[in-house]
Chains A and B, each alone.
Chain A
Amino acid sequence: MATFTQVPKEIEQLLDLRAPTTTRRDFLRTSGLFVVSVGAATVSGPFAAAVGAEVEGVQVTGPYPDPDFRQLDSWVVIHEDNTATFYVGKTDLGQGTGTAFRQLMSEELDIAYDQTTLVMGSTDVTPDQGGSGGSDAIQTDGWPMRRVSAEARRVLLEMASERFGVPVSQLNVSEAVISLKSDPSMSITYGELIGGRRFNVALTGDRVNDTTGIATVKPVQDHRIVGQSLNRYDVPAKVDGSLTWAVDVKLPAMVHARNVKPPLAGASVVSIDEASVRDLPGFIQVVHKGNYVAVVCEREEQAVNAARQLEVEWERPATAPFPSSENLFTYMRDATPTSGNDPDVIGDPEAALESAAQVIEADYDIPYQGHTSFAPAHALADPSDGCMTIYSNDMKSYGMRSGVAEFLGMPREQVRVVWMEGPQAYGRTAADDAGFEAAFLAKELGRPVRVQWMRDEETAWDTKGPAYAVTMRGGLDAQGRLVALDFNARAADYNHVGYNEVGTILIAQLMGTDTRQATPNAGRASRPFRMYSIPNERHASQVVGLPLVWETPLRTGNLRDPDGPQVTFAYESFIDELAVAANADPVDFRLGLIEASTEEDSGFKRARSVAVVKAAAEAYGWDTRPSPKPLASGAVLEGRGVAYSYRNQTVVAQIVDVEVNRETGHVWVKRIVCSHDCGLIVNPEGLRRTLEGGILHTLSRALHEEVQFDEEKVTSLNWASHPSLKHTDTPATIDIVMVNGDPNPDRPDLPPYGAGEAVCKPLLAAVANAIYDATGVRIRRVPFRDARVRAALETAGV
């Protein structure tokens, strides 16, 4: 079969870069061995022979060894037409990080942005930077990209120096053209110097993110491309329908699978009646091992139907897998923790509480919230030639490659993951269930198999952000000063998933004990940062588990800022309660706590926090008064709320206006002001949209999202039973204030601190604080759905 498959857009663009007279074959032939391997990423097994014939003498099928991150050629390729392709081990989840990488690398290489392309996240052609996660794309992984691009520029200048017989100091470089300072008509392009050939320059660094050459990166004052609001390169193909997503890849002989999940959590297969589907059109096979069951058919709709009709007898588990979501927080507070570290203590909080003039205490509850990706998990696996190629939107494609190799007992070199665009994940694909399932089924059938979950399956069985039950205590002295604070949290986070390790993947768990790790992952119970200077403060946290540890629909994973919204909801709501108790303005109260110390860290976080909180107040037009407002008449009550937090060195403050309908309990957040300082900004408008998205995602978590379950199964199954933010919930105004002021504007190295997740922290509390300001009623349980708010108002007589 000599048909080319549909290829990743980045690679299509790369191929399209060639002049029309240059055939793909010529391109592959003249671009060096490394670029040929890019060609390999565009084809799967059945086509390998065709490409092999086209590109003589080059092995384009597996195995797929890791690109060597200590070779410059693994990162930067210059083509004869004076364009460049960058290769990075990251994935863009929709925040435009790909565009930002190109800006950073073009800047250091000194080449026009439009002359570059980028390939991301495919394990056989891009150095393993771990894929995406933790808002570290620019903050951490951008550094080796900048350094290797600077190194490529240095090497090119050395080559030009030799060519012209002058020292590098007598050369200018601009937009990939090097010229003599003394005679600008004497020039040579990067393409003329090295186009289509390898640099063969070794880099150093123990780990990929330490990778460096000899060159140093530019001082930020010299940036010309970084700091520009360039349009994202991926947007046009996303609005004209031309992009090939991971869901779109089709291979000859490909078949479709759908899973049959246990109807009750923890149920076991007793028997499967294959006869119930054997005569259905297109039926190929029922595959099952342990409690994993899937049906494979020729066509997609046939697989959907067959999976629905397959008759499976399941045995109910002997004990209840979990309490109901209604009883979850009682269960969590009563449970024996699976782990808990020593508390972090400053001063003597118990003594300070004992002698405080006023002590207040409050419990805050945050439920499980799902990743609930817009489209369900999906992947296509091709088992051709004894290898396994997985076309996937997995944000952590490198982890999946290793995990699948272990799962299938294949050498890593025979497995590759081709990363392609997909629906938002925000942590979901750290356990890329569909990728493992597709690979397993493809190996079983010896044919390419495409797996896609159904909506109810995804909503019920995806990974969840952990539930938190937090108890806060605080003491004020007679002057209303905060003298003691106690944070005590429990997180339902036992056996938290990781990085596509086999034991964290649902198919491996369902298959039985031999594919599980011996010990569940410990999980994590987070604590607040020391945002404020409080003389006596204690932070304690413990992990608790639910009865069903494996094969559970309540697997916990990293959901966009994994514990931040939960912890900050409790902490910043309680700070607001303390401000109320002190009869203080909530902005003044916070600034007082930040400014109570003059200690600074290397990132000037305290000074930047003061600047960020003040910037939010100024942009909002804040007038000083304590909460709540005097209760207004009429159905709609208006209020305002503030919260502040940081993540690493990224500082954020948010102020929201709400309208609360006291008759229906409906909350509309009509205005959001967000001030934000993440250090160096690569693309301001790209950052603005990332922040807007993160803020509204968290607004959805504040107003709507909760995974509900009874004592047998998850009952949140779709967008009706697990509602999400809608157009009508959108604020009328979102004001983003990018503070991003370096306390020392003369220093050359203002670092980027990472953005995207920090804005998720304060919003739950800001909204709760605004509801209190409007109504005088404190909501301590997320989400603030109409019925909950209405009930709270009713109880309070509002």
Chain B
Amino acid sequence: MSSVTLNVNGTSHTVDVDPATPLLYILRNDLGLKGPRFGCGLGQCGACTVIVDGVATRSCVTQVSRAQGEITTLEGLATDGTLHPLQAAWIEEQVPQCGFCQNGQIMTAKALLDRNPNPTDDEIRLGMNGALCRCMTYYRVQAAIKRVAADSAASNSVTVEEVV
């Protein structure tokens, strides 16, 4: 056991655990977070995805001692009570079926759009390919991402006009 300090959703937490423990178990069992979830424990499905310093990271295969960055979970996407545009689009598009994988879908999409705010259809499909869904909501996930990308493009074009 050793003392590990984590910065999660803007708050610092210190836990006394085996440093080899997967980050996922600490987030869920010690910090009480419910966004990241266990799906495979192998980094194959995306259910456990969190964002560490801007990178979508599989917390089920990340040792807690190596998670030394700013960690954002699904719970940390909203700001001041306002949902992130992706979360709002998810509701608008009524994406989930059971919803269990949607943490992985949303967090992967967040990292994708942060990297590439206006992806092509192919870039969305490839960028999201590691996020599995067994209710197969892919069609709606892609629609929701396109909705956010289009909104972002529209607001950018307004900015351009204002500049002009």
Interface of A with B (CB < 8 Å)? 93-95, 231-232, 234-236, 238-245, 247-248, 250, 281, 299-301, 304, 372-376, 421-424, 452, 454-455, 685-686, 689-690, 692-693, 695-697, 699-700, 718-720, 724-732, 734
Contact A239 B132 (CB under 8 A): no
B91 CB contact (under 8 Å) in A236, A242, A281: A236
Contact A724 B134 (CB under 8 A): yes
Chain A residue at smallest Cβ distance from B25: A301
Docked CA distance A253–B33 (Å): 19
Docked CA distance A304–B61 (Å): 13
Of the four ranges (under 10, 10 to 19, 20 to 34, 35 or more), the interface on chain B belongs to: 35 or more
Contacts A421-B98, A423-B100; A281 near B1 (Cβ below 8 A): yes
* Interface window among B136-144, B147-155, B156-164: B136-144
CB distance from A93 to the nearest CB of B (A): 6
Q: List 18 A-B contacts (CB under 8 A).
A: A95-B97, A239-B90, A239-B96, A240-B78, A248-B34, A301-B21, A421-B100, A422-B98, A424-B100, A424-B135, A455-B42, A685-B94, A690-B97, A697-B134, A718-B42, A719-B45, A727-B128, A729-B138
Contact B129 A718 (CB under 8 A): no
Contacts A375-B38, A700-B136; A234 near B131 (Cβ below 8 A): no
Contact A718 B22 (CB under 8 A): no
Contacts A240-B83, A454-B41, A728-B129; A374 near B100 (Cβ below 8 A): yes
Tell yes or no: B115 within 8 A of A by CB: no
Chain A residue at smallest Cβ distance from B98: A94
The residues in B between 15 and 70 inclusive whose CB is less than 8 angstroms from any CB of A are 18, 21-22, 25, 28-29, 32-35, 37-42, 44-45, 47
Contact B29 A240 (CB under 8 A): no
A730 CB contact (under 8 Å) in B42, B73, B139: B139
Contact A375 B100 (CB under 8 A): yes
Chain B: interface secondary structure?
Answer: loop
Contact A239 B138 (CB under 8 A): no
Chain A: interface secondary structure?
Answer: loop
Docked CA distance A32–B99 (Å): 34
Contact A232 B34 (CB under 8 A): no
Tell yes or no: B13 within 8 A of A by CB: no
Interface of B with A (CB < 8 Å)? 1, 18, 21-22, 25, 28-29, 32-35, 37-42, 44-45, 47, 73-75, 77-78, 83, 87, 90-91, 94-103, 106, 121, 124-126, 128-129, 131-142
Chain B residue at smallest Cβ distance from A378: B38
Docked CA distance A730–B28 (Å): 31
Contact B78 A692 (CB under 8 A): no
Docked CA distance A213–B128 (Å): 51
Docked CA distance A301–B34 (Å): 17
CB distance from A668 to the nearest CB of B (A): 11
Q: Which 6 A-B pairs have the closest CB atoms?
A: A94-B98, A696-B136, A238-B99, A241-B35, A94-B97, A241-B74
Contact B37 A245 (CB under 8 A): yes
Docked CA distance A449–B25 (Å): 16
A686 CB contact (under 8 Å) in B32, B91, B94, B137: B94
CB distance from A457 to the nearest CB of B (A): 11
Contacts A241-B35, A301-B18, A731-B139; A374 near B97 (Cβ below 8 A): no
A247 CB contact (under 8 Å) in B37, B90, B99, B135: B37
Among B22, B100, B101, which residue has the most Cβ atoms of chain A within 10 A? B100
Contacts A241-B74, A727-B131, A734-B139 aside, 20 further interface pairs with beta carbons under 8 A come to A235-B90, A235-B95, A238-B96, A239-B74, A241-B33, A242-B34, A300-B25, A301-B21, A373-B134, A375-B39, A421-B98, A423-B98, A424-B100, A452-B38, A693-B97, A719-B45, A719-B132, A727-B125, A727-B128, A732-B121
